[in-house]
Homo-oligomer: A and B are copies of this chain.
Amino acid sequence: MKAFVYRGPGKKALEEHAKPEITAPTDAIVKIIKTTICGTDLHILKGDVPTCQPGRILGHEGVGIVDKVGPAVTAFKPGDRVLISCVSACGKCVYCRKQMYSHCTTGGWILGNTIDGTQAEFVRTPYADTSLYPIPEGADEEALVMLSDILPTGFECGVLNGKVQPGSVTAIVGSGPVGLAALLTAQFFSPAEIIMIDLDDNRLEMAKRFGATATVNSADGKAVETVMKMTGNRGVDTAIEAVGIPATFELCEKIVAPGGTIANIGVHGQQVALHLECLWDRNISITTRLVDTATIPMLFKTVASRKIDPRRLITHRFKLDNILDAYDAFGNAAKTKALKVIIEA
């Protein structure tokens, strides 16, 4: 089969690869219909993710058709159409019991990381019963690819952890795909205001179309003053960090209101300065989270009932044969205005 393989920092290839086999009774083999590329895949290609070694097939998102199942799989059978969670969950360990699947003691984010992933014609998915989700008849499968990772990430790490509430004020720092996923799902809770902050006017324009009530281009270094003025000098109830660098996290520290929450989504590569000399008495919370994808079933329902349209995140489409072009488009988002790219296997 064809597969997209990481070949060491800066190196990647679309290669011929052996089809995966069932190796544990709880495995399934899934024929990929559609997959996509995540910002994390770009990090891997740069060599920033040491758990992922050369030779690995990348990809942790996608929809497909069950091809084979191991003898202990009871929820799925060959022919079933499924959504693949980016997180594999054994369903039994102390973390899975409390739906903290991200920290499953034998699973978690392993697909396209420590085991081969979804950017291929077939993938082996461990713990199929608790890591795949049935796609209802007639559902828009392309839209559902957004439920493997990006929508639950924005929703769980940003919106739920950030306690977005009706009438509250939310700021989202970072208007890339993940920030926009938080923007879309924040609207489930009807906040009064969603202020989107970024350096790129194009992305902010997109954010307005996605439901932001205000946008702030922070290039002028005055984002804090602007947000404080917008909020009557009170600050925001929820500040969602969706970039992953010190400057954006510290911006969140400065705009969060007393009693508010900073919900971190960003993947950080270095420490940040936590200004406890200002924050110790501000009654705030700071949260971090690797997506658990525990809300996938709930998100299915919001898609089915048209509370949200995940297709709005999809800007480009490619065939698996042209996945290198897909990486080019996704990797040059500033130029191509790519958000999420669909790859058809």
In terms of DSSP, what is the predominant structure of the interface of chain A? loop
Task: Please tell me which stretch of A57-65, A195-203, A264-272 contacts chain B, meaning at least 4 of its Cβ atoms lie within 8 angstroms of it.
Answer: A264-272
Whether, in the assembled complex, A285 has its beta carbon less than 8 Å from a beta carbon of chain B, the answer is yes
Range for the number of chain A residues in contact with chain B: 35 or more
Interface core residue of A193, A284, A301 (most chain B CB under 10 Å):
A301
Residues on the B chain within 8 Å of A168, using CB: 301
Task: Please tell me which stretch of A29-37, A94-102, A173-181, A310-318 contacts chain B, meaning at least 4 of its Cβ atoms lie within 8 angstroms of it.
Answer: A94-102
A244-B280 contact given A71-B25, A192-B307, A259-B98, CB 8 Å threshold: yes
Task: Please tell me which stretch of A13-21, A217-225, A286-294 contacts chain B, meaning at least 4 of its Cβ atoms lie within 8 angstroms of it.
Answer: A286-294
Contact of A283 among B25, B103, B307 (CB under 8 A): B103
| A 294-345 contacts with B by CB, 8 A | 294, 297-302, 304-305, 307
Additional pairs, 17, CB under 8 Å, beyond known A94-B297, A95-B258, A192-B302: A25-B71, A26-B72, A74-B92, A97-B99, A97-B294, A100-B259, A100-B283, A166-B298, A188-B189, A188-B190, A190-B302, A192-B301, A268-B277, A272-B274, A274-B286, A281-B289, A286-B287
Interface residues of A (CB under 8 A from B): 25-26, 71-72, 74-75, 91-92, 94-95, 97-100, 102-103, 129-130, 165-168, 187-193, 213, 244, 249, 258-259, 264, 266-277, 279-290, 292, 294, 297-302, 304-305, 307
